[in-house]
Structure 1
Amino acid sequence: MSVKEYQPDHNRQPEPTNWRVEAVPSSHFPLIQRFYQAHYKSARVKSHDLVWQLLLNNQRVAVMRLLPIGSDWLLSGLVVDSAMRRKGLAAHLLNQALTQYSSDCYLFCDASLTPLYRKSGFTGVNPDSLPTELRGRFHTYRRAQTSLVAMFRPTP
């Protein structure tokens, strides 16, 4: 069964029973890259990424990547189809995917997105207290995006 890009019905709120969260095999990464190109052009899938998707009625509506950094994870590239935003899909994808791992998870996001991530158990963290592998990366990214903040979700 193939996965199609979502064609929204703007008059309906998605029912949670129609949602499915699953890991994406690397053989499907070109489809994920196409989703990113349609909804967030700067995101890129790399061969070592762990990619998760949320399907609604067997159609891809949200994607996220987890990058292994030392013994932790860096959440990157959480993107929801623009027609499906503000419906709880990002939080559902995050919570379902992150329960599969027993390591801490970090992310870097624009300050305006912190309420979204707080709903999924992330808290703000001082960039200077980030693990060494993440600290340099954060400061590099922050040069280009001054409103960037670091967040952390401990192992459940």
Structure 2
Amino acid sequence: MNDLRYAQLDALSWPLMNKFYRRHQSSMKAVRDAQLWVARREEIVAALCLRPVAGGHWLTGLLVDPACREQGIAAQLIAAAVQDLQEPVWLFCHPDLRGFYERRGFSFDPALPYAMAERLSRYARSKPMIAMGLMPAPRA
């Protein structure tokens, strides 16, 4: 199963990501001002968005095709997407996913920019939600 390619989509290909989300009945959407990352063979099997925010990036829209789960694809996609970033990456997730993200280097309850903290507060009113953060590795 090593025939997967992990890459950032070019600006003109963002509709392919929305097609992937729709095919899996997801309400997620590709965001045009974000870096759009995918894992693909012939078709996309996983996707995520890295949206620029004050002081870093916000990881959203991580989805793996259910037929391709439990193969490490999400971990590899996250690693590819964040490997060259020099700023923190934050995400919001269900508390049950905390361990998954901690195994990928994210920490629970990071300091968030004000706008992100406000957004988390709004989201957490209607569903269980926690913040996770990944700080960039120091450059040698």
Answer whether TM exceeds 0.5 for this pair.
Answer: yes
Aligned counterpart, 1:19:
4
Contact 2:31-2:49 at 8 Å conserved across structures: no
Please list the CA deviations of residues 104-128 of structure 1 after superposition, one character each: whole Å capped at 9, or x if unmatched. 00000011112221121101015xx
1:152 to 109, 121, 133: 133
- Does the CA-based 8 Å contact 2:86-2:136 persist in structure 1? yes
Q: 1:39 aligned to 2:20? A: no
State the alpha-carbon separation in 2 of the partners of residues 39 and 100 from structure 1: 29
In the aligned structure 2, how far is the partner of 1:35 from the partner of 1:67?
18
The DSSP-based 3-state class of the residue aligned with 2:125 is helix
Alpha-carbon contact 1:66-1:73 (below 8 Å) kept = yes
Of 107, 121, 127, which residue of structure 2 is paired with 1:139?
Answer: 121
Q: Structure 1: which 5+ runs fail to align?
A: 1-13
Amino acid at match of 1:125: D
Structure 2 partner of 1:114: 98
How much has 1:59 moved relative to structure 2? 2.8
The structural deviation recorded for 1:20 is 1.3
Instruction: Calculate the TM-score normalised by the size of structure 2.
Output: 0.91
1: CA distance between counterparts of 2:109 and 2:52? Answer: 19
Give the alignment partner of residue 81 of structure 1, picking from 53, 62, 65: 65
Offset at residue 50 of structure 1 (A):
1.0
Could you list the runs of 4 or more consecutive aligned residues of structure 1 that deviate by over 3 angstroms after TM superposition? none
Greater C-alpha radius of gyration:
1
Quickly say closer, same or farther: Cα 1:40–1:113, change in 2 above 3 A. farther
Displacement of 1:40? 4.9
Q: Is the 8 A contact 1:21 1:93 kept in 2?
A: yes
**Counterpart code for 1:141:** Y
Cα RMSD for the two superposed structures: 1.3
| Preserved contact between residue 55 and residue 113 of structure 2 (Cα < 8 Å) | no
The one-letter amino acid paired with 2:130 is: V
| Equivalent residue letter for 1:99 | Q
Q: Displacement of 1:52 after TM fit?
A: 0.4
Q: 1:31 and 1:135 mapped to 2: Cα distance? A: 31
